[in-house]
Amino acid sequence: MAESQPTRRLHALLWILLAWAGVIFVRLVWLQVIHHDDLARMAQSQQSKTKEIPAMRGAILDRTGQPLAKSVPAESICVNPQKIPDASTAAALLAGILDLDRGKLEQRIASAKQRNSGFLWVKRKVFSEEADRLRSLKLDWVEFRPEVRRFYPHHQLAAHVVGTMGMASSEDTIEHGTAGIEASFDDDLAGIPGQAQVFTDVKQNPYDAVIARAPEPGANLTLTIDSNLQYDAEKALAKAMEKTHAERGSIVVMNPYTGEVLAMANAPTFDPNEAPKADEPEGARSNLSIATPFEPGSVFKTITLSAALETTNIRPDTMINCGNGRITLFGRVIHDHNSYAALTMSQVLEKSSNIGAIQIGLKVGDQRLWKYVTNFGFGHKTGIELPGESAGLVRRVKDWTPSSIGSVAMGHEVSATSLQLAVAGSIIANGGLKVKPQIVLARQRPGESVEKFTPEKPVKVIAPETAITMRQMMEGVV
């Protein structure tokens, strides 16, 4: 019996439905079984993101426990460029409140709008005063995000020692040390960042978060610096520079027995709380005490005389021919500041006679003089725990000219840093022993006991008797 036309249509529809159901079933198997893991990972990546949680940075303290650097609450300002009605007006408003370059900010906003970006950092880690001024305007396209920023409560005090923080770019979320202790001990201070899993809806708006790993705070560092001595040193340096009309200067105060640096002052200086400015003096952020060597001049005569006491029969009362203030050395004529005929060794130091120092240097000889100069630490980095240290310059004897011994004997044709000179002076004060300068006293990691930094074993440079004799002669200079 032939099927009626309605029956054939019904059967055809049934086969179509069965085929469609089969396709759906195969698709479900493909999604739920074959590619389940891949799709689950894809969904998770779209619905949750891993965010890094910055660790609380450790504090930097002076030897008495006063904070020189610490982390304090702050806010960062960001905007949604797509909600900004007019880039020019917004840039003018934000730049005025946040002290930014209006033109550059307007370009950044316009560029973000063209990229259809819904997020743009404006200024990171501002203080509450700036944030509150902007918050009072109640702009729906401005967002405030809580962060932590570095604060230096004593501002310029020991700024070159403590150092500064910074980020490689405006898109970075974590600052790192860029100078001073902040840089050389960055790993200790920074701690270990944590991780959080942030869950978002279909519009990528976060609605929940789970901390996967808590951040570990950084270690606190105690420096050898004494804030009171540091203040006095900076004040004395400023006074001396004003009196002499000098453009730059440095002072290092060091314990000659332990190597602990109690003060390290530099001028010009800066406030590490503030970003570099166009009108900032050149070199204001350079630690001159360790980074900028100079010809030491007359203070170097202590090295020449120490070498003579060690290697010749010259003694404090030995008469030195000063040639009436003039000497010809291998065709080079050198004059003294006074026309002394003859002076004792002690008087050569007391009156700072260049000719006397040259005559003593000639008695020592170039090889032996070079040996004592380098043994006193010149031409080598001291190894202090600060970045950017210079070794200064002490040329090898084979590179000297015939008259170089005369120059070196009175502190010329060599260069040294203020710290190297402090180390050399400490050798004479410490009975002939050289100690390595130290800037960090102790480190304390969270939950652990204080770890004290042990000074290195002193190295003998001159005999104790030589050091005593030099101290006695130096008293006459003062």
The tens digit of pLDDT for each residue in 225-265 reads 999 999 999 999 999 999 999 999 999 999 999 999 999 99
- The token pair at 435 is 């100690």
Residue type for position 283: G
Query: How far is Cα 340 from Cα 324, in angstroms, rounded to an integer?
Result: 5
Q: Give the model's pLDDT for residue 476.
A: 75
Q: Give the model's pLDDT for residue 434.
A: 97
How far from each other are the two terminal CA atoms of the chain, in whole angstroms? 135
Contact 267, 237 (CB under 8 A): yes
Torsion of CA 167, 170, 173, 176, to 10 degrees: 0
Mean pLDDT of 419-440: 97
Q: How confident is the model at residue 95 (pLDDT cuts 50, 70, 90)?
A: confident
Q: Give the model's pLDDT for residue 283.
A: 86
Structural domains in the chain, CATH included, are 72-146 (3.90.1310.10), 293-477 (3.40.710.10)
Q: Give the model's pLDDT for residue 89.
A: 81
pLDDT at 222 over 90: yes
Mean pLDDT (the chain) is 86
Lowest mean pLDDT across 73-87, 267-281, 294-308, 355-369: 73-87
The tens digit of pLDDT for each residue in 387-402 reads 999 999 999 999 999 9
- The token pair at 363 is 């008695």
Choose between 56 and 250: higher pLDDT.
250
Mean pLDDT of 133-144: 82
**CA distances, 45 to each of 36, 80, 121, 213, 435 (Å):** 14, 23, 24, 18, 57
Query: What is the CB-side half-sphere exposure of residue 262 using CA atoms within 13 A?
Result: 13
Q: How confident is the model at residue 124 (pLDDT cuts 50, 70, 90)?
A: confident
The tens digit of pLDDT for each residue in 185-208 reads 999 999 887 777 665 655 555 545
pTM of the model: 0.81
